[in-house]
Chain A
């Protein structure tokens, strides 16, 4: 992994002070070294997921940790590899809207067709999953000061 980072070398913003002086927000963008760190985090999270699969733990705990790790991996890829954390808020709003809509619609579908046994679970799921996930992606902003 380290070799990969070395092979890529520094990005323009690390080598060109003029670029950073002209656009300070460039300094906030991640570089190859950070991408490799994110990839290592993703690999570790996947390893924990698989190890957890073979652990003998109660069902709610088993599902909860897997969902947390899945959300962590999802967020790392969206915010860092897809640059949503560093890009314009319009992109973030577009994606968060699609995500919130999908989560809401399909939670309702799961309740209507009986996959979620109790209808009140819909309200709990909405406030525990849809609202925090949407807010998380809408608020996860860094750099691009003054962008649209």
Chain B
């Protein structure tokens, strides 16, 4: 078991002693900060514009979005439990937590699809005004990221079923986990800045 953990923690024979894949993932996540920073600041720029038509602030359902946020937060817990499971060689638990994470992610995405559908039925589409455009672009990009994460989780699940995810390859789960947690922290910021704070402005 000690060997397994060591392989997971210090498996890289690189000049830094760190895994290039993990280094690449952190660099990618740093660049994603800039992508979502651009989308969030665009929303903030347009938020107080005087526009015609419905704006997101008028159609939000905060209790509903709060439940979605809770679901995504809990998916981070199941993701990190999946990583802990593979690091100790427990493949059954790994698959359980991977499926749980994917299901929670699907629940979140289903909630977002329902929310978007309701907004459109209420009369706010992506073309209604610049505030709606920036809102749908921001939350849509986030939803696309969650969807990619779900596909990666299901791929890991399939690999594990095929026996192609031994303890030595635990880093694959860690990398997907980093991506998943990043998507979660982006939502933490969106929920506060886009959904909650505009209430009183």
Q: Which residues from chain A sit less than 8 Å from chain B, CB to CB?
A: 4, 7-9, 11-13, 15-16, 18-19, 22-23, 26, 31-32, 35-36, 38-39, 42-43, 46, 49-50, 53, 59, 62-63, 66-67, 69-70, 73-74, 77-78, 80-82, 88, 90-91, 94-95, 97-99, 101-103, 105-106, 109-110, 113-115, 147-148
Query: Smallest CB-CB separation from B29: which chain A residue?
Result: A95
Could you say which residues of chain B place their CB within 8 Å of the CB of A63? 197, 200
On whether the beta carbons of A91 and B26 are closer than 8 Å, the reply is yes
Q: Which of A7, A18, A63 has the most CB of B within 10 A?
A: A63
Chain A contact residues, majority secondary structure: helix
Show 28 residue pairs from A and B whose CB-CB distance is below 8 angstroms, ordered by the A residue. Answer: A4-B81, A12-B88, A19-B1, A19-B5, A22-B2, A23-B9, A35-B84, A39-B77, A42-B76, A49-B66, A50-B196, A53-B62, A59-B201, A70-B188, A70-B192, A81-B181, A82-B177, A82-B181, A91-B26, A94-B27, A94-B29, A101-B34, A102-B34, A102-B36, A106-B41, A109-B41, A147-B17, A148-B17
B4 contacts the other chain (Cβ, under 8 Å)?
yes
- What distance in Å separates the Cβ of B143 from its nearest Cβ neighbour in chain A? 19
A12 touches B200 (CB 8 A): no
Q: Give chain A residues whose Cβ lies under 8 Å from the Cβ of B131.
A: none
> A102 contacts which chain B residues (CB < 8 A)?
33-34, 36-37
Please give the distance in Å from B194's CB to the nearest CB on chain A: 11
Given A8-B93, A101-B33, A148-B18, residue A22 in contact with residue B73 (CB < 8 A): no
Measured in the bound complex, the distance between the Cα atoms of B129 and A119 in whole Å is 27
* Distance in angstroms between the alpha carbons of A36 and B41 in the assembled complex: 33
Given contacts A46-B70, A101-B34, A113-B45, contact A94 B26 (CB under 8 A): yes
| Closest chain B residue to A42, Cβ basis | B73
Q: Closest residue to B180 on the A side, CB-wise?
A: A81
Q: Are A35 and B188 closer than 8 Å at their CB atoms?
A: no
Q: How many residues does chain B have at the interface if contact means C-beta atoms less than 8 Å apart?
A: 62
> In the assembled complex, how far is the CB of residue B128 from the closest CB belonging to chain A, in whole angstroms?
21
Q: Does B22 belong to the interface (CB within 8 Å)?
A: yes
Cβ contacts under 8 Å, B4 to chain A: 12
B15 to chain A, nearest CB (A): 9
B121 touches A (CB below 8 Å): no
Closest to B8 in A: A12
Evaluate contact between B70 and A26: CB separation under 8 angstroms.
no
- The A-contacting residues of B in range 53-106, CB under 8 angstroms, are 62-63, 66, 69-70, 73-74, 76-77, 79-81, 84-85, 87-88, 90, 93
The yes or no answer to B178 lying at the interface (CB within 8 A) is yes
Q: With the chains together, A110 CA to B201 CA distance in Å?
A: 16
Query: Is B31 touching A98 in the complex (CB atoms < 8 A)?
Result: yes
Contact B73 A39 (CB under 8 A): yes
Task: Point out the residues of chain B lying under 8 angstroms from A59, CB to CB.
Answer: 200-201
Among the listed B2, B77, B93, B197, which residue makes an inter-chain contact with A36, where contact means beta carbons less than 8 Å apart? B77
